[in-house]
């Protein structure tokens, strides 16, 4: 995660805290990071100083809605579907 954040222009914890979880995750997606819901909510929990697995119930459901909205805005679904197909038939980078 540290490398992905640095590659996305988030060089340190202070910058991450200033941006907040949603803006930081958007930068990750813009930089080509593959979306993953657990990574998204772990980022939220970390910035709140909570254990990664503390997210449950309605809070987790609300974060899922936010995650899906970010993905809809920043993820190229055609590329994602192509990559999934290529993985299924055994083509790798």
Domains and CATH numbers, the chain: 2-88 (1.10.150.20)
**pLDDT recorded at residue 83:** 66
Q: What is the DSSP string of 9-75?
A: T--SHHHHHHH-HHHHHHHHHHTTPPP-HHHHHHHHHHHTT--GGG--HHHHHHHHHHHHHHHHHH-
Q: Do 32 and 4 touch, CB atoms closer than 8 A? A: no
Q: How confident is the model over 47-62, as pLDDT tens digits?
A: 999 999 999 999 999 9
Structure tokens at 46: 């970390």
For the whole prediction, is pTM greater than 0.95? no
Q: Is the pLDDT of residue 86 over 80?
A: no
Q: Is the pLDDT of residue 78 over 80?
A: no
């Amino acid at each position: 995660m540290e490398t992905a954040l640095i590659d996305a222009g988030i060089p340190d914890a202070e910058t991450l805290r200033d941006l907040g979880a949603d803006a930081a995750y958007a930068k990750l997606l813009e930089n080509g990071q593959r979306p993953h819901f657990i990574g998204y909510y772990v980022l939220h929990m970390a910035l709140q100083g909570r254990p990664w697995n503390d997210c449950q119930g309605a809070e987790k459901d609300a974060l899922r809605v936010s995650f899906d909205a970010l993905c809809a805005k920043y993820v190229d679904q055609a590329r994602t579907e192509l990559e999934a197909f290529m993985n299924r038939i055994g083509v790798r980078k």
